[in-house]
Every structure is written in C-alpha cells, then in structure tokens.
Amino acid sequence: VSVFPRNTEEERRLFNLLQDAYVQARYNKDFVVTKTDIDALIPRLELMRDITEKVCCDRIAYYERQN
C-alpha cells in the first residue's frame, strides 16, 4: 500500500507540500496550507498512522514472544 503515491502531478504536489510543511511551518511565518490541501492530506495521514500503529504493534508482539 502506498500512502503517498506519486503517479500524478497532484499526488507529487501533495507529497512535496507535506515535506515542505515539516520545516516551513516552523520557520516561515508566511507558509500556508489551504483547507483543500489539508482535506486531501488527512485521509493519507490517517492511513499512514494506521500502518505505523500496526507495524509497531507487530514488532512489540514479536519482541514479547522472544522473552
């Protein structure tokens, strides 16, 4: 599952926006993310969160079984 596919120009733009936001939101007071972009990013970020949670839980369970 690709959380951030980059097959289209719009997908690449959203991915780059998220990367830029990581730094720009802290250091550039003029950096803006539109509501439309936020609405497009939220489902992807929720998917990323869910995948991360599953991977972490699986890894924790693996280490617990090792004891």
Kindly state whether residue 22 falls inside one of the protein's structural domains.
Answer: yes
Kindly state whether residue 4 falls inside one of the protein's structural domains.
Answer: no
pLDDT of residue 64: 96
Measured in degrees and rounded to the nearest 5, phi and psi for residue 2 equal -100, 115
Q: What is the DSSP letter of 28?
A: -
Kindly state whether residue 3 falls inside one of the protein's structural domains.
Answer: no
**At residue 1, does pLDDT exceed 80?**
no
Kindly state whether residue 1 falls inside one of the protein's structural domains.
Answer: no
The answer to whether 24 and 31 are in contact (CB under 8 A) is yes
pLDDT of residue 67: 80
pLDDT of residue 40: 97
- pLDDT, tens digit, 9 for 90 and up, residues 2-16: 899 999 999 999 999
* pTM, to two decimals: 0.81
Number of domains observed in the structure of the chain? 1
Owning domain of residue 28: 9-66
- pLDDT, tens digit, 9 for 90 and up, residues 14-57: 999 999 999 999 999 999 999 999 999 999 999 999 999 999 99
